[in-house]
């Protein structure tokens, strides 16, 4: 167990690094939101409570058996067993203290302490926008098992529920700090503070299970893929003490404006998702405009309440099978024609939470695996391909992988063997091969595709 002296040194260094990083040229907030100051590092990332998840302490043999039953023998054998924990920790939202929840999974060998291992900051895909949608609330097997697999591969993994998704908060009441869906700042801050909280546990109560060597991999899909890029952008300003080594961005919505054009082109899965983006970001930026400027009266009158209570906000759009039944004609026309100045501040919300429109210059470009699903009709594959090339053009260090025949989430699952091998190479110090760096390759069958034999 780490001494109070050592923990104090760590906290002091983190505070000093954060204080030194916040230059006068960076001000949180945008799109009409008044500026504010972030809380200092000694008030965030602290563990308030934690508990081990019953039934999720698994040996390597048990995890191998589960992978085999799931038809994923290609991922076996795993080198470690794993244990999972739910934690509650301190973070912040627009400079206000907030409590948040998340998950931690650690590599485990019974009766031994696993030597220091790399860390993963795992950011989950869309589960909903309210407390009851938090992945750690019911310890849903899908989310927990993804973390257990990372732990079994030898990573100490932290996974935030995200602000607004409080696993211990009331399920039938809106969170006082609503979830900003695809909001970069809120997501990055809660994610880094979850990682800081895990480090506190690894330096104290959980030190006998495993250690961490300080090298961090960002890893997430869909909404979590967007979060991977958000963390890359905000790291230098919010968590400069965290050493990011590599990133895995799975089916990431990197250009929200391009995806909005697609969402309004015809009824498709992105049509509904855009209502959640506009509504939640409008709430987070404290916009004074009426949602009725962009959404029809029928949708605007119900979406805000439905979004932040319950995990089935799509019910608001039941029976509406035309884009014009969801969005105002003027909004559809302006977005479709690229007249973004005509739809402010909504255009600002979308731009500032897109990677290239964020207004933040990366301190350095992290080696990143960029995975696309060929048949993705939610995070539209053509939009991802286009933005991949734009990101590369400004210096991003991207390695492209497109899973042939995969729907939205399938690419993230089918490419798991490639992801694990790719991360291992980056952590071993091997750069992305020059023949693969920023090369838009044709779709190919990914290793864990059950129909890819």
Q: Which two tokens stand for residue 439?
A: 């090369």
pLDDT of residue 140: 58
CA distance 278 to 293: 11
Q: Going by DSSP bridges, is the β-strand pair 368-373/398-403 parallel, antiparallel, or unpaired?
A: parallel
CA distance 407 to 293: 33
Radius of gyration of the chain (CA): 21
Q: What is the pTM of this model?
A: 0.93
End-to-end CA distance of the chain: 49
Encode pLDDT of 391-419 as tens digits.
999 999 999 999 999 999 999 999 999 99
How far does CA 54 lie from the centroid of its chain?
A: 25
CA distance 445 to 406: 9
Say which residues have a Cβ less than 8 Å from residue 429's Cβ, sequence separation at least 6: none
CA distance 302 to 290: 13
Encode pLDDT of 345-390 as tens digits.
999 999 999 999 999 998 899 999 999 999 999 999 999 999 999 9
CA distance 137 to 209: 24
pLDDT of residue 8: 37
CA distance 103 to 135: 8
pLDDT of residue 7: 34
Q: Which two tokens stand for residue 386?
A: 């286009």
pLDDT of residue 139: 61
Distances from the Cα of 431 to the Cα of 64, 416, 422, angstroms: 30, 20, 10
Residues in a beta bridge with 372: 402
Distances from the Cα of 54 to the Cα of 51, 122, 146, 152, 386, angstroms: 9, 21, 16, 17, 44
3-class SS letters over the chain:
CCCHHHHHHHHHHHHHHHHHHCCCCCCCCCCCCCCCCCCCHHHCCCEEEEEECCCCCECHHHHHHHHHHCCCHHHCCCCCEEEEEEEEEEEEECCEEEEEEEEEEEEECCCCCEEEEEEEEEECCCCCCCHHHCCCCCCCHHHHHHHHHHHHCCCEEEEECCCCCCCCCCCCCCCCCCCCCCCHHHHHHHHHHHHHHHHHHHCCCCCCCEEEEEEEEEEEECHHHHHHHHHHHHHHHHCCCCEEEEEEEECCCCCHHHHHHHHCCCCCHHHHHHHHHHHHHHHHCCCCCCHHHCECHHHHHHHHHHHHCCCCHHHHHCCCCCHHHCECHHHHHHHHCCCHHHHCCHHHHHHHCCCCCCCCCCCCCCCEEEEEECCCCCCCHHHHHHHHHHHHHCCCCEEEEEECCCCCCHHHHHCHHHHHHHHHHHHCCCCCCCCCECCCCCCECCCCCCCCC
Q: Going by DSSP bridges, is the β-strand pair 210-221/243-250 parallel, antiparallel, or unpaired?
A: parallel
pLDDT of residue 453: 53
pLDDT of residue 451: 87
pLDDT of residue 438: 98
Residues 338 and 220 sit within 8 Å (Cβ to Cβ): no
CA distance 194 to 304: 27
Q: Spell out, as residue ranges, where the chain has pLDDT lower than 50.
A: 1-24
Q: Which two tokens stand for residue 286?
A: 């404290």
Please report how many Cα atoms fall inside a 13 Å half-sphere around the Cα of residue 124, on the Cβ side: 28
pLDDT of residue 36: 94
Distances from the Cα of 378 to the Cα of 276, 373, 415, angstroms: 13, 10, 18
CA distance 412 to 421: 14
């Amino acid at each position: 167990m780490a001494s109070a002296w050592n923990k104090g040194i760590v906290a002091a260094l983190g505070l000093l690094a954060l204080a030194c990083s916040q230059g006068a040229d960076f001000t949180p907030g945008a799109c009409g939101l008044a500026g504010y100051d972030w809380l200092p590092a000694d008030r965030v990332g602290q563990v308030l409570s934690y508990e081990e998840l019953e039934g999720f302490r698994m040996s390597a043999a048990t995890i191998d058996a589960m992978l085999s039953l799931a038809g994923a023998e290609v991922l076996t054998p795993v080198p470690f067993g794993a244990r999972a924990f739910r934690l509650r920790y301190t973070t912040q939202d627009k400079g206000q203290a907030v409590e948040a929840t998340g998950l931690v999974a650690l590599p485990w060998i019974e009766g031994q302490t696993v030597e220091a291992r790399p860390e993963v900051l795992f950011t989950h895909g869309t589960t909903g926008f309210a407390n009851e949608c938090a992945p750690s609330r019911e310890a849903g097997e899908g989310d927990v098992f993804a973390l257990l697999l990372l732990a079994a591969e030898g990573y100490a993994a932290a996974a935030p529920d995200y602000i607004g998704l409080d696993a211990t908060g009331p399920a039938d009441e809106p969170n006082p700090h609503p979830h900003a869906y695809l909001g970069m700042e809120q997501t990055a801050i809660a994610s880094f503070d979850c990682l800081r909280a895990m480090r506190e546990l690894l330096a104290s109560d959980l030190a006998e299970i495993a250690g961490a060597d300080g090298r961090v991999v960002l890893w997430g899909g869909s909404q979590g893929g967007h979060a991977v890029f958000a963390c890359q952008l905000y790291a230098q300003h919010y968590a400069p003490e965290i050493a990011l080594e590599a990133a895995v961005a799975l089916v990431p919505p990197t250009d929200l404006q391009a995806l909005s054009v697609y969402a309004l082109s015809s009824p498709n899965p992105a049509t509904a998702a855009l209502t959640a983006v506009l509504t939640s970001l409008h709430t987070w930026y404290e916009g004074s405009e009426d949602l009725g400027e962009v959404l029809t009266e029928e949708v605007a009158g119900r979406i805000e309440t439905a979004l932040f209570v319950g995990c089935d906000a799509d019910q608001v759009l039941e029976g509406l099978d035309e884009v014009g039944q969801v969005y105002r004609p003027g909004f559809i026309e302006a977005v479709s024609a690229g007249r973004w100045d005509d739809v402010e501040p909504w255009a600002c919300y979308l731009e500032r939470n897109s990677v290239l429109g964020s207004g933040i210059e990366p301190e350095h470009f992290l080696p990143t695996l960029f995975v696309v699903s060929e048949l993705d009709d939610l995070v539209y594959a053509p939009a991802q391909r286009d933005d991949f090339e734009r990101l590369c053009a400004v210096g991003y260090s991207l390695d492209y992988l497109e899973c042939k025949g995969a729907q939205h989430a399938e690419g993230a699952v089918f490419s798991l063997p490639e992801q694990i091998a790719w991360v291992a190479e980056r952590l071993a110090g091997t750069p992305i091969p020059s023949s693969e760096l920023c090369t838009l390759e044709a779709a190919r069958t990914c290793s864990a595709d059950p129909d890819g034999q």
